[in-house]
């Protein structure tokens, strides 16, 4: 999506549209860290700076995706991302994804704040009524974020929906229409 988005999370953190200038070796290192990306769809495939630049360019120009970075107000540091994907105005829905890349920023509520801010934006600014998240059954931090943000469990995969790289079953959570 080509629009600029800025969403304050609290006095210490904010979300904003990612730009090509945000692509850095630090970000690529998150993506290549097995612990950080164990639930991500790219799996254990190594990502290069060039590949990440192409990905960001594709996300910036897409009308069906919105990629926001999570940033520290104090340091300006890019610590993670949250995104809406498969945005569909016909069905009024999108899929949410999140990655807290810098592990020192995990476990402080930043994921939940990011989910809340992005789902409010999806509803209030994009007019979407439903936001889905496919979460690996073993990804307890994302499940907690989803529940804190008002998402509810929709259905358990029965061997049909898997993260292709980790063979982990994915369950569907959704933020029902208000």
CATH of the domain at 74: 3.40.630.30
pLDDT the model gives residue 138 = 80
pLDDT the model gives residue 132 = 86
Judge whether 16 lies within some domain: yes
Judge whether 116 lies within some domain: yes
Residue 16 phi/psi, 5-degree rounding, is -150, 160
Which domain covers residue 142, as residue numbers?
Answer: 6-175
Q: What is the pLDDT along the chain (178 residues), one digit of tens a residue?
A: 467 999 999 999 999 999 999 999 998 888 887 766 656 655 567 889 899 999 999 999 999 999 999 999 999 999 999 999 999 999 998 989 888 888 888 889 999 999 999 999 999 999 998 888 888 778 888 888 888 888 887 766 544 343 344 445 666 666 666 6
Distance CA(48)–CA(100), nearest Å, equals 19
Judge whether 127 lies within some domain: yes
Judge whether 1 lies within some domain: no
By DSSP bridging, strand 13-17 and strand 152-155 are unpaired
Indicate the number of domains in the chain: 1
Q: What is the value of pTM for the model shown?
A: 0.85
């Amino acid at each position: 999506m080509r629009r600029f988005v800025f969403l304050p999370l609290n006095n210490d953190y904010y979300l904003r549209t990612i730009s090509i200038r945000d692509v850095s070796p630090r970000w690529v290192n998150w993506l290549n860290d097995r612990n950080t990306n164990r639930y991500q769809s790219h799996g254990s495939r190594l990502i290069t700076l060039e590949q990440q630049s192409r990905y960001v360019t594709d996300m910036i120009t897409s009308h069906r995706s919105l990629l926001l970075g999570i940033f520290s107000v104090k340091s300006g540091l890019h610590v993670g991302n949250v995104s809406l994907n498969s945005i569909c105005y016909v069905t009024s829905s999108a899929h949410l994804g999140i990655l807290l890349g810098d592990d020192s920023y995990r476990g402080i509520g930043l994921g939940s704040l990011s989910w809340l801010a992005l789902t409010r934006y999806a509803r209030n600014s994009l007019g979407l009524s439903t936001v889905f998240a496919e979460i690996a059954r073993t990804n307890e931090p994302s499940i907690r974020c989803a529940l804190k943000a008002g998402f509810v469990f929709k259905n358990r995969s029965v061997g049909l929906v898997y993260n292709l790289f980790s063979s982990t079953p994915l369950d569907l959570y959704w933020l029902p229409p208000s």
